[in-house]
A and B are shown apart, each in its own frame.
Chain A
Amino acid sequence: MKTYQLDVLRYNPETDREPHFQRYSVPCREEWVVLDALNHVKESIDPTLSYRWSCHMAVCGSCGMMINGEPKLACKSFLREYEGVIRIEPLRHFPIERDLVTVIDDFVAKLARVKPYLIPKEATSPEAGEFRQTPAQLKRYKQFTLCINCMLCYAACPEYGLIPQYLGPAAIALGHRWNEDSRDAGRAARQEELAAKEGAWECSFVGACSEVCPEHVDPAAAIQQVKIKSTVDWYAAHLMPWLNK
């Protein structure tokens, strides 16, 4: 057992005017992650501490928080990789509901706007059989399916922090994921959001989203690909109008 010092940002909307840090000394096991330490605080030291978590295995995407200023999943951040006091804050750029719990309504609404689901060319019934796809067609978009909606990319993106209307990395990557799917025909329906000024064009390619992604998705790549395809669309529409029916 080793004792770690955690500085946790606390905010109680009923009593606090603004958030403040609270220090906890937590006896931890060598193999613990930050989430284990928070669970120990909640169970044995201070039951009022609020934070989100569910799976403890980097699948559910609930326990995203700032750990020493970096957006991280608390379940994937081993204590032994940190020295000194560990500073734990809620994800940046999102309003704080309470302690480490953020208000995520903005992301959820944006995700819905990009229509992240299969829009087939024409309606079919299950009896008509499955949609078939080759391994190469799958590989084209597969990395983007690995997104767990943890929002670390939003906390890393300065554009989103400065311009909250920006659609943001994960939503654009998930819209692009369906555009790249050979079974899908919904690209035109998604363009209104993806190719808008506050869609892909708000991105100035900081690239932080891809660096912090715990699932190694590359949202920055998706956004640049959306820009290139939208540019080709524009030139096709303006220079070769005969291509459009």
Chain B
Amino acid sequence: MSRKPYLRPITSEWIFRHQRYLRYMVREFSCLFIGGWTLMMVWGLKQLAQGPEAWAAFLQFLATPASIVFHLLTLAFSIYHSVTWFNLTPKALPVQRGEEFVPDAVISGAHFALWGVISLAVLALAGAF
């Protein structure tokens, strides 16, 4: 009897096989928006360095409907990425006190709290209050 193992080919169908894979791909996909937004900020800095006219043009561009839609999408994707990521922190950073592990909610909760504090500090620095 001869052996002839058959390896089934992998197709991109796996992404849609279960919700978990789709959720994962959405998390990975969020980097395109966050990366794009970051590049836009670098471009904004360059415009700022070039003088008041270039800066005004940049601000005008930010106010266009396409830019606002892009910003809303980027906000949604970055919140999705941050929330799913912080929910995973108890797996990466388990803390054992005596025999018991600190509950997951405490570890992810600490991350959410720190996120909130830093966001408020950034908003305060930007003069939002």
Contacts and interface: CB of A to CB of B under 8 A. Distances in A.
Binding partners A and B: yes
Interface of A: 11, 13-14, 16, 18-19, 69-70, 92-93, 95-97, 103, 135-136, 139-140, 158, 161-162, 204-208, 210-211, 218, 220-221, 224-225, 227-228
Given A19-B6, A96-B6, A206 B92 contact: no
Given A69-B17, A140-B96, A221-B91, A19 B2 contact: no
Interface stretch (B20-28, B43-51, B72-80, B112-120): B20-28
Contact of B91 (A70, A135, A136, A224): A224
Interface string B1-35: 11111111010001001101100100010000000
B57 interface: no
B98 interface: yes
11 contacts: A13-B4, A14-B2, A14-B4, A96-B7, A206-B21, A207-B20, A207-B24, A208-B20, A208-B24, A221-B94, A224-B91
Q: Which 9 A-B pairs have the closest CB atoms?
A: A95-B5, A224-B92, A221-B91, A13-B4, A95-B7, A136-B99, A96-B6, A206-B24, A161-B10
Interface string B74-111: 00000000000000100111101011110000000000
Contacts of A158: 14, 21
A225 B95 CA distance: 11
Contact of A220 (B2, B6, B91, B99): B91
A211 B20 CA distance: 9
A98 B73 CA distance: 48
A174 to B, nearest CB: 17
Contact of B14 (A18, A161, A228): A161
